[in-house]
């Protein structure tokens, strides 16, 4: 009996996605018979008042300052350019809904049941490329569940920021997981998993770029695994990390700054080296 071609619902923050996500989605559409049949746009109001922004900075403490400095040091955008979804597939006839999540516990997003149900009528599989940590009926509304990237190996590193703790702790490898989401953070069934060596990555940005690069074909593998009902649950889950404070921030700042200096010296040497 022939397998039914999967129909996909995308959960996105807007009409464009980062280049690394566009690459992964293009690979999926080119190498499988999957089609995009529905899109859920994030309607959550994200603008914060000045008071809220100041409160957020106070919560992040020294990480807010170091993160801002790191943004200034960054020489390119590790996320890549923003790519319109219309460049990736024909959006004609695609069902769209704007979803306005209810924020739970200050950070979880519960998606409204009625528009989610409408999207699930048009798609058998959901892929999260936006929003935050989603909970509620959306996780069970689609026949094959909700797939999501986690740029970390669930067996060792869960939470955030992506690749940060592996970089700070001097890990030899970092991982990328595509999982079926559950109500527990980074604890879903694994549909695809890769690890990659990062010992030669001198900066946090270099780690992130490598993780995005190896992500390109993983969505395709994950969809095939889900359809074959071959996802698996890790025997153990790694520590749940969160935004850094204290000594890890200082360690990161020093290590990352040295890495940026090394990269600039290397680039200058390459630029002035005589042509062969």
pLDDT digits (tens, 9 = 90+) for 168-186: 999 999 999 999 999 999 9
Write down the residue that tokens 């319109």 correspond to.
84
Are the C-beta atoms of 7 and 123 separated by less than 8 Å? yes
Residues recorded for the chain: 276
If one looks up domain 7-272 in CATH, what number appears?
A: 3.40.50.170
Exposure string for 134-153, b = 16+ CB within 10 A, e = fewer: bbbebbebbebbbbbbbbbb
User: Regarding beta strands 95-99 and 102-104, do their DSSP bridges make them parallel or antiparallel, or are they unpaired?
Assistant: unpaired
Confidence of residue 274 (pLDDT cuts 50, 70, 90): confident
Closest CA to 214 of 176, 165, 161: 176
CA dihedral 249, 163, 241, 41 (to 10 degrees): 110
Q: What is the DSSP letter of 232?
A: B
Exposure string for 232-257, b = 16+ CB within 10 A, e = fewer: eebeebbeebebbeeebbeebbebbe
Helices (H), the chain: 19-31, 50-60, 62-73, 113-120, 138-141, 164-168, 204-214, 218-227, 247-272
Are the C-beta atoms of 114 and 59 separated by less than 8 Å? no
- Position 4 scores a pLDDT of 80
Residue 66 makes CB contacts below 8 A (sequence gap 6+) with 249, 252, 253
Residue ranges covered by each domain of the chain = 7-272
- Position 18 scores a pLDDT of 94
Are the C-beta atoms of 143 and 119 separated by less than 8 Å? no
For residue 45, the SS3 value is coil
The pair of structure tokens assigned to 166 is 């592996």
How many of the other CB atoms lie within 10 Å of CB of 17? 24
pLDDT digits (tens, 9 = 90+) for 192-225: 999 999 999 999 999 999 999 999 999 999 999 9
Summary mean pLDDT of the chain: 89
Residue 6 confidence (pLDDT) above 50? yes
User: What average pLDDT does range 257-266 have in this prediction?
Assistant: 86
Strand partners, 146: 126
For residue 97, the surrounding DSSP H or E stretch is strand 95-99
pLDDT digits (tens, 9 = 90+) for 46-104: 554 444 444 544 455 566 666 666 665 554 567 778 999 999 999 999 999 999 999 99
For residue 142, the SS3 value is coil
For residue 31, the SS3 value is helix
pLDDT digits (tens, 9 = 90+) for 11-26: 999 999 999 999 999 9
Q: Give the predicted TM-score (pTM) of the model.
A: 0.90
As to burial, measured by CB atoms within 10 angstroms (0-12 exposed, 13-18 middle, 19+ buried), residue 106 is exposed
- Position 243 scores a pLDDT of 86
User: Considering the chain, what percentage of its residues have pLDDT values greater than 90?
Assistant: 72
Confidence of residue 43 (pLDDT cuts 50, 70, 90): very high
């Amino acid at each position: 009996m022939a397998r039914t071609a999967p129909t996909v619902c995308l959960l996105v923050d807007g009409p464009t996605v980062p280049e690394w996500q566009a690459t992964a989605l293009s690979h999926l559409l080119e190498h499988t018979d999957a089609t995009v049949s529905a899109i859920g746009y994030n309607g959550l109001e994200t603008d914060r008042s000045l008071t809220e922004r100041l409160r957020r900075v106070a919560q992040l403490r020294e990480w807010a300052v170091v993160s801002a400095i790191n943004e200034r040091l960054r020489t390119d955008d590790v996320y890549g350019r923003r790519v319109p979804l219309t460049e990736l597939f024909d959006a004609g006839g695609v069902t769209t809904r704007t979803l306005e999540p209810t924020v739970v516990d200050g950070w979880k997003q519960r998606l409204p049941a009625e528009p989610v149900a409408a999207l699930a009528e048009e798609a058998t599989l959901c892929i999260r490329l936006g929003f935050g940590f989603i909970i509620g009926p959306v996780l069970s509304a689609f026949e094959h569940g909700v797939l999501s990237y986690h740029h970390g190996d669930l067996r060792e590193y869960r939470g955030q920021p992506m690749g940060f703790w592996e970089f700070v702790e001097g890990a030899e490898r970092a991982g990328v997981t595509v999982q079926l989401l559950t109500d527990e953070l980074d604890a879903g069934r694994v549909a695809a998993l890769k690890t990659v060596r990062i010992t030669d990555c001198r900066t946090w940005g270099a780690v992130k770029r490598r993780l995005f690069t190896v992500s390109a074909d993983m969505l395709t593998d994950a969809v095939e695994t889900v359809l074959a009902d071959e996802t698996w649950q890790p025997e153990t889950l790694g520590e749940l990390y969160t935004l850094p404070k204290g000594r890890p921030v200082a360690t990161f700042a020093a290590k990352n700054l040295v890495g940026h200096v090394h990269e600039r010296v290397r680039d200058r040497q390459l630029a002035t080296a005589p042509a062969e």
